[in-house]
Amino acid sequence: MLAPEAAHRLTVRALAMGLGPRDRGPEDPILESSVWGRRFPNPVGIAAGFDKNAEAYRALLRLGFGFAEIGSVTPRPQAGNPKPRLFRLTEDRAVINRMGFNNDGIDAVARRLSNRGHLPGPLGVNLGKNKDSADAAADYVRGVQALARYADYLVINVSSPNTPGLRALQGREPLTALIEAVKAARAEACPTAPPPLLVKIAPDLQPEDKTDIAAVALASGIDGLIVSNTTLARPASLRGADRGEAGGLSGAPLFEPSTRLLAEMYRLTQGRLPLVGVGGIASGADAYAKIRAGASLVQLYSALVFEGPGLVQRIKRELAQSLRRDGFSSLSQAVGAAAR
């Protein structure tokens, strides 16, 4: 079996070369929705981290995802943390990573996105900061200046556990200042049609952090939150041999804590902001639980490692069945149904 990072790189290259499978069937109309004035053919997206460098987003959309998110992208190319830095916990259906924002930088990504053309689903661009940058806000501003014009939505990633000091930006004052700087850059880069701006948050938050983030989100006029990134927690139930490795844990063990946080943020933001639910989705039932907890859209990544690309079609099929079983005629009707 290939090492995890080598397997991932090979998969991205194959997809970029057009070697991946295609979902040629029509989308179920019950899964379609409009968020931020953009049409999503279905609510199931590929999370940031899979296609860091905008090499395979077209192939991922052809695979059946309703939207794709590339990145995280930093201003300067960055090698990331020393290898090995990606670990499968097969017994736990989980992954630990400490990649460290390894990516080709905004200039290379901008070149790849410059000919993006029409896509069958929205494309998100996830922005990060360089590890050695003293001015985090300046890094995010540079990302917006270079990439906002190609994005259907932008994400400020302030929640990766693998860049020192990054999660400190989730505090009320630094987050407010960062959002204002990014919003100003967005207005300058895209004065007529600025892309929606989201913030991706960590699952490892104290109660006051959650309250502060919700207050800042509502006061600052951002367009949504992504809930959540990977966790530093290590549940006692983990069995994988690499469970003690440093980094962020994703996959099945993240499902329950991230879904609880999603419902909390839905209530704290009074259902006024679209939320993207991420963490441990491996079935239509999981996606449905996220939507009922408050997610307008959902994303997955880790489950693909264990289930393969057929998982996307299965999730969509099961999700549509769940919506109809419970009497919903549209996806939007189910959003937040269990959190109200």
- Give catalytic residues, as residue numbers: 160
64 has binding-site annotation = no
251 has binding-site annotation = yes
157 has binding-site annotation = yes
130 has binding-site annotation = no
Cβ pair 153, 119 in contact under 8 A: no
211 has binding-site annotation = no
306 has binding-site annotation = no
Look at phi and psi of residue 182 and say left if phi exceeds 0, alpha if psi is from -120 to 50, else beta. Answer: alpha
Residue type, 322: S
50 has binding-site annotation = yes
d(CA 284, CA 287): 5
Look at phi and psi of residue 41 and say left if phi exceeds 0, alpha if psi is from -120 to 50, else beta. Answer: alpha
Cβ atoms < 10 Å from Cβ of 78 = 22
Q: Is 292 helix (H, G, I), strand (E, B) or coil?
A: helix
Beta strand pairing call for 86-89 and 153-157: unpaired
183 has binding-site annotation = no
d(CA 233, CA 285): 24
103 has binding-site annotation = no
40 has binding-site annotation = no
Strand partners, 69: 124
284 has binding-site annotation = no
d(CA 220, CA 262): 20
Cβ pair 253, 282 in contact under 8 A: no
90 has binding-site annotation = no
Name which of 53, 54, 59, 47 is nearest 22 in CA terms. 59
302 has binding-site annotation = yes
229 has binding-site annotation = yes
Residue 338, token pair as written in the block: 């269990």
Residue type, 213: I
100 has binding-site annotation = yes
Query: HSE of 271 in the Cβ direction (CA atoms, 13 Å)?
Result: 13
- Residues forming the annotated binding site for substrate? 52, 97-101, 157, 162, 229-230
- Residues forming the annotated binding site for FMN? 48-52, 72, 126, 157, 200, 228, 251, 280, 301-302
- Residues forming the annotated binding site? 48-52, 72, 97-101, 126, 157, 162, 200, 228-230, 251, 280, 301-302
